Amino acid sequence: MSQAQDKAVIWHRDEYEIDIEETAAQQDVSRPLTRWESFSNNTTVRRSSVLIALAIIWEIYATWLNNPLMFPRFSEVTVALVEGYISGPLAIRTWTTLRVLVVGYALGIVLAAVLTSLAVLTRFGTDLLSTLTSMFNPLPAIALLPLSLLWFGLGEASLLFIIVHSVLWAVALNMHSGFLEVSQTQRSVGHNYGLRGVRYVMNILMPAALPSILSGLKIGWAFAWRTLIAAELVFGVSSRSGGLGWYIFENRQQLDTTNVFAGLSAVVLIGLLVESIIFRTIENRTVRRWGMQV
Amino acid sequence: MKPLLSAHDVTLQYKTREQLVTATQRVSFDVWSSDRFVLLGPSGCGKSTLLKSVAGFIKPAGGSITLKGKPIGEPGADRMMVFQEFDQLLPWKTIRQNIMFPMLACKRYGKKEAAERAQDYIAKVGLSAFADAFPHTLSGGMKQRAAIARAMAMEPDILLMDEPFAALDALTRRKMQEELLRLWDDIRFTMLFVTHSIEEAIIVGSRILVLSAHPGRVRAEINADQFDHQAQGSETFQAVQTRIHNMLFSEPELGGERIQ
């Protein structure tokens, strides 16, 4: 009994029941957000404020530095950028770059999809893909440029070749690791329905691996940009009109730093637009909507 | 009359990195049409592996499994599987699309017919209000309901259920068992149901195959058609429960009684 005395005693309380029908629902179960709440909840608003802050810091620093040759002011660059698009060559330069970029990017993605599908369907495909990616993924695309020029000449074909190279391995690597991460249950579900081969890849693996595929596509897009701008800086004009890289190079030669900044800003702006409009829209309509990504 | 599904001396083995494991050894059983046939046993008795081999995911190392007299080969939509995991619903499809997907994938139904059947089975499992919701917005019980509707809408020869309620909470599980029995009463489908819960086996099953572990061997086949949730407290229910319990937990060397 001495042991039992040491133990705490359960305190006796009366039981109770509440009729839920009669208690009014507590207030504030759900209410619309206040204006400030929905304003600060908006990603676009928050991201834009980062951009505005950066622009202000830039303007203040450049004004204080007062050396337009080294670091022109934000307002000057903005004017140069707008003028470049309205009356200058920026629009045609951007178009040249984007056209090559999109074609190369698309080619790279298609090749990556073919290679990875082969890799998940056959053992030979797996060996092929893993060997090729470990060989070529670390190889900088720009290092292939001299060879590419030799093979395809001074023109778009050379650029396409190195863009495909820069996109292909990054996308394939991500796509393949995405395929490998698809849950066993979902694979079994696909097999259970009698899905085989390409139908299995298209109907089960591709959508199930979409988060990884999208991140691969983003990396591939960035790689394609870098490669293309770098290539244009190196060998400049292709056929009749050069691209954005050439524009930057040309203006540096003429010590027109404001236009160099305008060219760089164009690259940055396109990157921002693609990321925040195209990729974000795709994510919102797919992986986020499906609850596969927060 | 012939059994719908017939397993004869089925030995199943699988390889891990270090060793070859025998999951089941010479297991034989017959499932007849409209059976609620339960595979019951402790973990390691190979019940899930057995179900997977019926589904066609694993080839038996010995013995044969036949469905309607034909040996089972590749996985196919004539044997629809309901898994334990909630992610069996494809997250990129709404509930309705999920249910229509196998009907369209196996090209047995046209688009219009598939839509009608989907609507019908969504109503049967009480998900009409959520037909166009994506799976991640549903509770675990609702997801399992949708998975069951998806499998049943195909009207497979046999419904394979791999511990479909094991990941649910106790209250939802009980509700789901009741609903499954109600659906069976309505449609009289044939199902092969895997569980490790003796209680669930007796309530859900009409016939129970008791398997022993390491490797899985047949211990007994027991009739349980007369029991539902109402019978749970009854003496006969308790007796069956105790009988199976003793079968599974009695160690011969400890002197526990063996039931042949």
pLDDT more than 70, % of chain A: 94
Query: Which residues of A lie closer than 8 Å to B, measured between beta carbons?
Result: 183, 185-186, 188-189, 191-195, 199, 203-204, 207-208, 210, 286, 289-292
pLDDT at A20: 75
pLDDT at A163: 94
pLDDT at A23: 61
Of B117, B83, B87, B120, which Cα lies nearest the Cα of B100? B117
User: B134 CA to chain A: closest CA distance, Å?
Assistant: 6
SS3 call for B7: strand
A94 confidence band (pLDDT: 50, 70, 90) = very high
Of A42-51, A130-139, B64-73, least confident by mean pLDDT is: A42-51
- Contact state of B77 with A194 under an 8 Å Cβ cutoff: yes
pLDDT more than 90, % of chain B: 77
- Contact state of B55 with A289 under an 8 Å Cβ cutoff: no
pLDDT at A238: 54
A22 confidence band (pLDDT: 50, 70, 90) = low
How far is residue A76's CA from residue B241's CA, in Å, rounded to a whole number? 85
Of A5-9, A279-283, B146-150, least confident by mean pLDDT is: A5-9
B1 confidence band (pLDDT: 50, 70, 90) = confident
User: B91 CA to chain A: closest CA distance, Å?
Assistant: 5
B73 touches chain A (CB under 8 A): no
pLDDT at A111 over 60: yes
Residue A281 lies in a domain: yes
pLDDT at B260: 39
What ipTM does this complex have?
A: 0.86
Query: Across the A/B interface, how many CB contacts are shorter than 8 Å?
Result: 65
Region at A26 (left for phi over 0; alpha for psi -120 to 50; beta for the rest)? beta
Of A202, A205, A201, A218, which Cα lies nearest the Cα of A178? A205
Average pLDDT (A199-218) is 95
| Domains contained in chain A, number | 1
Residue A273 lies in a domain: yes
Contact A210, A286 (CB under 8 A): yes
B75 confidence band (pLDDT: 50, 70, 90) = very high
- Contact state of B105 with A183 under an 8 Å Cβ cutoff: no
C-alpha to C-alpha distances, B56 to A92, A192, A288, B67, B81, nearest whole angstrom: 59, 8, 34, 11, 11
Range of the domain at A136: 86-285
Partners of B212 in the beta sheet? B217
B258 confidence band (pLDDT: 50, 70, 90) = very low
Residue A149 lies in a domain: yes
B254 confidence band (pLDDT: 50, 70, 90) = very low
Average pLDDT (B83-90) is 94
Residue A128 lies in a domain: yes
A246 confidence band (pLDDT: 50, 70, 90) = confident
- Contact state of B74 with A286 under an 8 Å Cβ cutoff: no
pLDDT at A205: 95
How far is residue B255's CA from residue B2's CA, in Å, rounded to a whole number? 40
A241 confidence band (pLDDT: 50, 70, 90) = low
User: A69 CA to chain B: closest CA distance, Å?
Assistant: 53
pLDDT at B257 over 50: no
Minimal Cβ distance to A192: which of B55, B85, B136: B55
Domain range summary for chain B, segments of one domain joined by +: 1-78+161-167+196-260
Residue A215 lies in a domain: yes
Interface of B with A in 19-38 (CB under 8 A): none
pLDDT at A224: 93
Contact A275, A218 (CB under 8 A): yes
Average pLDDT (B38-62) is 92
pLDDT at A6: 74
- Provide, as residue numbers in chain B, all residues whose Cβ is less than 8 Å from the Cβ of A207: 90, 92
Please give the structure tokens belonging to residue A25.
Answer: 């629902």
SS3 call for A143: helix
pLDDT at B255 over 60: no
A257 confidence band (pLDDT: 50, 70, 90) = very high
pLDDT at A167 over 80: yes
Average pLDDT (B40-51) is 91
- Beta strands B217-223 and B70-71, pairing class: unpaired
Of A241, A244, A100, which Cα lies nearest the Cα of A162? A100
CATH number for the domain spanning A239: value is: 1.10.3720.10
Please give the structure tokens belonging to residue A68.
Answer: 């337009």
User: A192 CA to chain B: closest CA distance, Å?
Assistant: 5
Contacts 24+ apart (CB under 8 A), A252-258: A255/A69, A257/A68, A257/A69, A257/A70, A257/A71, A257/A72, A258/A68, A258/A72, A258/A76, A258/A77, A258/A80
B49 confidence band (pLDDT: 50, 70, 90) = very high
A237 confidence band (pLDDT: 50, 70, 90) = low
pLDDT at B131 over 50: yes
Average pLDDT (B113-125) is 94
CATH 3.40.50.300 assigned to domain B1-78+161-167+196-260? The reply is yes
Residue A211 lies in a domain: yes
Average pLDDT (B16-29) is 90
Let me know the angle formed at the C-alpha of A226 by A225 and A232, rounded to the nearest 5 degrees. 90
pLDDT at A5: 61
Round the average pLDDT of chain A to a whole number and report it: 88
Partners of B14 in the beta sheet? B21
Task: Give B144: exposed, middle or buried? Use CB within 10 Å, 0-12, 13-18, 19+.
Answer: buried
Instruction: Look up the pTM and report it.
Output: 0.84
Average pLDDT (A190-219) is 94
Write the DSSP symbol of residue A292: S
Q: Which residue of A has its CA nearest to B75?
A: A192
Residue A7 lies in a domain: no
pLDDT at A50: 92
Residues shown for chain B: 260
Residue B200 identity (one-letter amino acid): E
Round the average pLDDT of chain B to a whole number and report it: 90
A276 confidence band (pLDDT: 50, 70, 90) = confident
B147 confidence band (pLDDT: 50, 70, 90) = very high
